[in-house]
A = this chain, B = another copy of it.
Amino acid sequence: MKVQIIETVLKLNDQIAAANRARFRQAGLFAVNLIGSPGCGKTTLLETTLQHLSPRLNIAVIVGDLATARDGQRLGRFCDRVVQINTGKTCHLEAFHVQQALEKLPLDGLDILFIENVGNLICPVGFDLGQDVKVAMFSVSEGDDKPAKHPYLVQEADLLILNKLDLLPYVRFDLDAFRNDILRLKPSASILSVSLAANQGIEAWLTWLEQERQRRRTGS
């Protein structure tokens, strides 16, 4: 009974996600669904990315949290097209949240749309939003066992980012174990290690983003 219900919800979600995807294609924009734990650095990654790319690309952000507009306000300092969604008690964004946000977001002339999901490693994975890519984000302070404990996220992600490299001297974290768990789950995985606090690894992320964006635009 419960499984059947969830399937109905997911089927409706997929229909709306397909409509979102069609709108993104028509507008010629590249859409990124950013998924990670609470506090892994998703908003900080987007702040940094906006500072680097805003001068030459048109970027919008949809950001989800249960409550508060704090992330939206942080991102609004670097971008004039930000929509904050408050999901209440819902632990993930669904395609209809994005659909509603698009009513407030003119897509014309946009190059990239970032969708920062609710901080959660689990349910955001199962809900297609219409994105081109899913980026999974972990951080050193969460421990090296998080990929092994969240296999669906690892398998679904087009890129995995490990943030807070600057904390490595102060916590127990085995980089090889982290990496090996990921590669066992997904041998083709792309992994980037960064420290947003120490401004380390940003160029590799921006390069990946630009390559993926061009690849999707040209359909290669």
Q: CB within 8 Å of B: which residues of A?
A: 2, 5, 9, 37-39, 65-68, 70, 89-91, 118-123, 125-126, 139, 141-143, 145-146, 148-152, 164, 166-167, 170-171, 197
**Quick one: which of B39, B66, B67, B123 contacts A143, CB cutoff 8 A?**
B39
Q: Which residues of B contact A119 (CB under 8 A)?
A: 37, 121, 149
Given contacts A38-B146, A120-B121, 10 further A-B pairs with CB under 8 A are A2-B9, A5-B5, A37-B119, A38-B149, A39-B143, A39-B146, A91-B120, A119-B149, A120-B120, A167-B167
| Oligomer copy total | 2
A126 CB to nearest B CB, Å = 6
A38 touches B148 (CB 8 A): no
Q: Which residues of B contact A90 (CB under 8 A)?
A: 122
Give A94's nearest chain B residue, CB to CB: B2
